[in-house]
Amino acid sequence: MDHQHHEHSTSPSKTRAEANPVKTGATTVDMPTLKDPVCGMAVTDQSPHRLEHGGLSYFFCSARCQTKFASEPERYLKSSPSEASPPVRHTEQAGKVYTCPMHPEIRQNHPGNCPKCGMALEPEMPTLDDDENPELRDFTRRFWWTLPLTVVVTVLAMFGHQLGLLDMATQSWVELCFSLPIVLWAGWPFFVRGWESVVNRSPNMWTLISLGTCAAFIYSVIATVKPAVFPTSFVSMGRVAVYFEAAAVIISLTLLGQILELKARSQTSAAIKSLLGLAPKTARRIALDGTEEDVPLTHVHEADLLRVRPGEKVPVDGVVIEGSSAVDESMLTGEPLPVTKRPGDKLIGATMNTSGALVMRAEHVGASSVLAQIVQLVAQAQRSRAPMQRMADHVAGYFVMAVVAAALLTLVLWGWLGPQPSWVYGLINAVSVLIIACPCALGLATPMSIMVATGRGATQGVLFRDAAAIENLRKVDVLIVDKTGTLTEGRPTFNRAIPAEGITEQEVLRLAASLDQGSEHPLAQAMVNAAHQQGLTLAIVDSFDSITGIGVHGLVESRTLLLGNAALMAQEGVAIDPSVTASAEALRAEGASVMLLAANGKFTGLLAVSDPIKASTKEALEALRAAGIRIVMATGDGVTTARAVGKTLGIDEVHGEVKPADKLELVRSLQAQGCIVAMAGDGINDAPALAKADVGIAMGTGTDVAMNSAQVTLVKGDLRGIATARDLSESTVANMKQNLGFAFVYNALGIPLAAGLLYPITGWLLSPMIAALAMSLSSASVIANALRLRHTK
């Protein structure tokens, strides 16, 4: 019999697809039929008999064939003629999509450069295995290698005549030699981007940078190599003035700006990598014969039986088959209290099993899991672009064309109408136009304001991740807030105890804390901490036992204590008076969790534990309402508790029991109504909505994933920081408008002067040296105006 084998990808999602043709980019691969490598019988990837070998999955028709293969895998692999069924190998790069961070519409299935702007394409979906951005490494290397050369060229240009080390003509040659590697090597990526922008008819900042740098450099090269072509009026101190330092400094500053931008952009993928890092690397799979083995998570398939031991993460989405335990789902819901899971209950991958052992059946693996869907939601939201950015690119395109047109017009008009040597005058004036219109002031107008504003915000406990957040925050008219950890402290604390007749409140707390002192449950810790704070002496507990989902019992001071919910009391036959039930409901309506305590079969008291509202929350919400912002609360907590907190804080619009996708949909629906939406949250469950909102605001006391998904982080977790950030946003945008206005006015006046508009009247021309000085002064003015933001309150 012909023996064949089939090698599978390590990705479950790809394994399921291999029975059909799969498209990867422009290539379609036909997948061969699966066959048992031992006997050659046809099998499917749903066969319960499978084995991993060499990082690949093999499927068998029976346990006998599986055992044979396990004992001598090489024998059966060698005996399988590859000609009959060539193995199909998929690398991790298969199906990977790369996109341009500036032009998200550019997508392809292999690395490369953006055809519009020349920037290196980045993976659309980062993975934990991704290395540091190669473009960041490249620019960093170019910057540090050429920075000393830039310093030397600048020092020579500014102080060379004072130092007297070289005659000025020789100094020009020295500056040329030092500038060559800066311009032709360090600046080469910018010229590529500039060229791509011309070829693709999408002029942008790289067009201006390329033209300005080339104009300064080429002019200086000609002035050094052929100084005789210039009129004597341009000779100073024994040479024609050169501007190698302008080209060198432009390249070095642009490299530095790109390095800082790339480092900031790397934080975008940090949120996704944090999410991916939540999933465990392995799972414990149970075979049909009852044996267990640890396998990589990528080898887990639907319908696999998996064991989840206490303290381990749930590997994939599935359903409980055996056992019961409290599972911490805070990564999904953001709520701190573990949820009891019994046979038939659903489990979510990456949640933490805190107490008992569970046996589960895998239902959703790979891309279909809840965690994978959250990752996808965050990635999609992060790739969306702000409308202001598109508008700015559009305006910049017209500005670039206007500058180029002005330079060409200057060259032609002077060449035709100017005095002799007319074309030399035309070239010099055209270079002056390009130098004075070099995008330094325009390029600094926004970044300098942003840089100063972010520094000022940091001193006030507000961290901005990008310029879009500062631009958009002032326009926000709706704020969505999470409850736990955002409005509240996020740490349950003991509220009060209501004792039965004949016992004190402190005694109820002491007994409950004594019983629960060995528990890790957050509610138990809240009571134990309260007992310690009140100076109560806890007794020793014997025969402690936890009844999952309903409470605990044990022996304290020769009394049998029960602590839990009404179900535990009913199970143990403890009578509860209707007035006690009413009191418990009233406390729950206030947002508290209630536990009942019984001693020797008699009700002893009830205890309430609640997550207190932050002291600053009410003041912060009042300030935001006064600013005209509509407040909406969205929480994964129960509707009753959510409404109770909302009532306390005066929030009328409350959404309870919402999942991450629901929060994201809420953001989308409000945006569809024309609202500018900010989202404030602290948990992983808030990440998709934080990323999609016009402004995502994370609490600094929350998770790394939330902070990486948000554009603004409040370091102290104080909502009053939103009002502070809004004020800073208004001041910053006003400052940016002033800078941009000055830059455009400067160009509107400077370009005609550089073109020689006043020559017929005054006989005066603006030399490239004066143009470079004006360019530097314009930059200094923009910087000085931006620095005023340091005093913003």
Task: Give 120-151 pLDDT, tens digit per residue.
Answer: 777 776 666 556 677 888 999 999 999 999 99
Q: How many Cα atoms within 13 Å fall on the side-chain side of residue 718?
A: 15
DSSP letter (8 states) at residue 42 = B
CB 435 within 8 A of CB 247: no
CB 95 within 8 A of CB 84: no
Residue 337, sorted as left (phi over 0), alpha (psi -120 to 50) or beta, turns out to be beta
Percentage of the chain exceeding pLDDT 70: 77
As beta bridge partners, residue 235 has 240
Task: Give 632-645 pLDDT, tens digit per residue.
Answer: 999 876 577 788 88
Predicted structure pTM score = 0.53
Burial class from Cβ neighbours inside 10 Å (0-12, 13-18, 19+) for residue 564 reads buried
CA distances, 674 to each of 365, 384, 681, 696 (Å) = 37, 17, 22, 17
Residue 535's pLDDT is what? 93
Can you give the length of the chain in residues? Answer: 793
DSSP string, 575-615: ---HHHHHHHHHHHHTTEEEEEEEETTEEEEEEEEE-PBPT
Q: What span, in angstroms and rounded, lies between the C-alpha atoms of 758 and 436?
A: 16
Which tokens in the block code for residue 358? 């569970």
- List CB contacts of 772: < 8 A, sequence separation 6 or more: 216, 243, 246, 435
Q: What span, in angstroms and rounded, lies between the C-alpha atoms of 300 and 305?
A: 9
CA neighbor of 76 nearest in space, from 16, 173, 183, 2 = 2
Residue 20's pLDDT is what? 33
Residue 560's pLDDT is what? 93
- List CB contacts of 125: < 8 A, sequence separation 6 or more: 96, 97, 272, 375, 376, 379
Q: What span, in angstroms and rounded, lies between the C-alpha atoms of 681 and 667?
A: 13
Is residue 482 annotated as part of the catalytic site, yes or no?
Answer: yes
Mean of all residue pLDDT scores within the chain: 78
Residue 390's pLDDT is what? 54
Residue 596's pLDDT is what? 94
Q: What span, in angstroms and rounded, lies between the C-alpha atoms of 653 and 630?
A: 9
As beta bridge partners, residue 317 has 364
CA distances, 245 to each of 171, 492, 676, 779 (Å) = 12, 62, 45, 15
Residue 404's pLDDT is what? 83
CB 267 within 8 A of CB 202: no
As beta bridge partners, residue 52 has 57
CB 130 within 8 A of CB 111: no
Mean pLDDT by runs of 10 across the 793 residues of the chain is: 36 33 33 67 66 68 74 66 33 59 71 68 68 80 93 86 78 92 93 84 75 84 86 71 82 78 63 73 90 89 92 92 86 66 89 89 85 67 48 64 86 84 76 71 67 74 76 91 81 89 93 86 83 92 76 89 89 91 85 88 93 87 92 80 85 84 91 93 79 86 64 80 89 84 80 85 74 68 81 73
Residue 8's pLDDT is what? 33
Residue 13's pLDDT is what? 34
Residue 89's pLDDT is what? 34
DSSP string, 485-546: IIIB-SS-EEEEEEEPTTS-HHHHHHHHHHHHTT---HHHHHHHHHHHHTTPPPPPEEEEEE
Residue 10's pLDDT is what? 33
Q: Which of 328, 482, 694, 718 is catalytic?
A: 482
Residue 84's pLDDT is what? 30
